[in-house]
C-alpha cells in the first residue's frame, strides 16, 4: 500500500468514525452494534488485502481516528462523554478481535465479542445507565424520605405531611426537552391511574425563574395532572435528583423508586 492510498484510507477511516459517532445521537445501542460489526468486517477485509504487503498497516489506520479524535474527547470532557464510553470500548475491541481473527483464523475470535455484547446489553448496560443518571445500579430503592416542601398551582403548600399513600413525583425544568415530550404520556397515565396513586409533576426553577412563570408555561396545553413547584433547586440534593426528567416514587417515610416515569408506573403495577 503506497502512502497516498494509506492517506486516503485514513481519511475514509476518519469519515467512518464520525458517521458511527453520529449514529450515537439516536441510539448508543445501534452505535455499538452497527459500529462494532462494521469495523470488524472492514478490518478483516483490509488486513487480508493489504497487511502482508504494506508497511502502512491497515489495522493502525483504522484505530488511529479513535485514538487521535475520540479518546482525547473522552479525557477532556470525561463526565459529558461518559455515556458514550462503552461504545468507544466496543469499537476498539472489535478491531482487536478482527486482528486476532486475521492472525489465528479461529471462530472463537467472533464468538467472544458477540457473547460479551449480549452480556453487556442484557446485564451491564441497564446498570451502567441507571448509575449514570440516578447514582444507583437499580431503580428500585429503599431510602429514608427527607423533609421537602413544594407549592401547588394555587400556592398551597405540599410537603411530607400531605402524603397519605404512594405518590409519584416527576421532576422537570424549563430547559428539558425530553420532559416536554413526556408530558402527554404523564397526562394519559394520570387519567388512568389517579384512583390508585397520586401523580404530580414537580418543576425545579433555573436561576432567575419565578413560580408564576412556570404556572403559565404549561397552561396552554390543558394537561390534567396536578403540578407542584419547588422554590429553589436545593431540593435536588435533598431528594437525590441528578438529571431531568427524574421520577421518584415515595411513601410517607421512604423513597422506593428513582428512575424514569414509564418504568415507575410498571414498578407500581407489579407491587
**Confidence at residue 270, expressed as pLDDT on a 0 to 100 scale:** 84
Mean pLDDT by 10 residues, the chain (271 residues): 78 92 90 94 87 68 91 91 94 92 87 92 93 93 94 90 92 92 96 93 80 69 92 91 96 95 93 71
The structural domains of the chain, with segments of one domain joined by +, span 3-134, 141-270
What are 79-123's pLDDT values in tens digits? 889 999 999 999 999 999 998 998 888 888 889 989 999 999 999
Q: What pTM value is reported for the model?
A: 0.81
**Confidence at residue 50, expressed as pLDDT on a 0 to 100 scale:** 78
**Confidence at residue 190, expressed as pLDDT on a 0 to 100 scale:** 96
**Confidence at residue 52, expressed as pLDDT on a 0 to 100 scale:** 61
Q: CATH number of the domain at 141-270, out of 3.20.20.70, 3.40.50.300, 3.40.30.10, 1.10.10.10?
A: 3.40.30.10
**Confidence at residue 139, expressed as pLDDT on a 0 to 100 scale:** 94
Integer Cα distance of 81 and 83 in angstroms: 5
**Confidence at residue 5, expressed as pLDDT on a 0 to 100 scale:** 78
**Confidence at residue 199, expressed as pLDDT on a 0 to 100 scale:** 96
**Confidence at residue 85, expressed as pLDDT on a 0 to 100 scale:** 94
Amino acid at each position: 500500500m503506497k502512502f497516498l492510498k494509506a492517506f486516503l484510507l485514513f481519511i475514509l477511516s476518519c469519515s467512518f468514525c464520525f458517521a458511527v459517532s453520529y449514529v450515537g445521537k439516536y441510539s448508543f445501542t445501534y452505535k455499538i452494534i452497527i459500529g462494532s460489526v462494521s469495523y470488524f468486517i472492514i478490518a478483516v477485509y483490509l488486513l487480508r488485502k493489504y497487511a502482508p504487503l504494506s508497511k502502512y498497516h491497515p489495522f493502525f489506520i483504522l484505530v488511529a481516528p479513535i485514538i487521535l479524535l475520540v479518546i482525547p474527547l473522552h479525557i477532556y470532557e470525561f463526565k459529558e462523554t461518559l455515556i458514550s464510553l462503552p461504545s468507544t470500548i466496543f469499537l476498539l475491541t472489535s478491531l482487536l478481535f478482527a486482528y486476532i481473527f486475521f492472525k489465528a483464523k479461529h471462530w472463537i475470535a467472533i464468538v467472544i465479542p458477540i457473547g460479551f455484547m449480549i452480556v453487556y446489553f442484557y446485564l451491564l448496560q441497564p446498570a451502567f445507565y441507571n448509575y449514570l443518571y440516578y447514582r444507583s445500579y437499580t431503580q428500585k430503592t429503599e431510602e429514608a424520605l427527607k423533609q421537602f416542601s413544594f407549592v401547588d398551582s394555587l400556592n398551597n403548600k405540599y410537603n411530607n405531611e400531605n402524603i397519605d399513600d404512594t405518590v409519584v413525583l416527576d421532576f422537570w425544568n424549563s430547559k428539558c426537552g425530553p420532559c416536554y415530550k413526556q408530558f402527554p404520556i404523564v397526562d394519559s397515565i394520570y387519567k388512568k391511574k389517579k384512583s390508585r396513586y397520586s401523580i404530580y409533576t414537580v418543576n425545579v426553577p433555573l436561576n432567575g425563574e419565578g413560580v408564576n412563570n412556570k404556572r403559565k408555561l404549561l397552561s396552554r396545553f390543558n394537561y390534567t395532572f396536578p403540578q407542584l413547584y419547588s422554590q429553589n433547586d436545593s431540593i435536588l440534593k435533598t431528594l437525590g435528583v441528578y438529571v431531568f426528567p427524574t421520577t421518584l416514587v415515595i411513601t410517607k417515610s421512604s423513597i422506593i423508586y428513582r428512575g424514569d416515569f414509564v418504568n415507575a408506573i410498571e414498578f407500581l403495577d407489579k407491587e
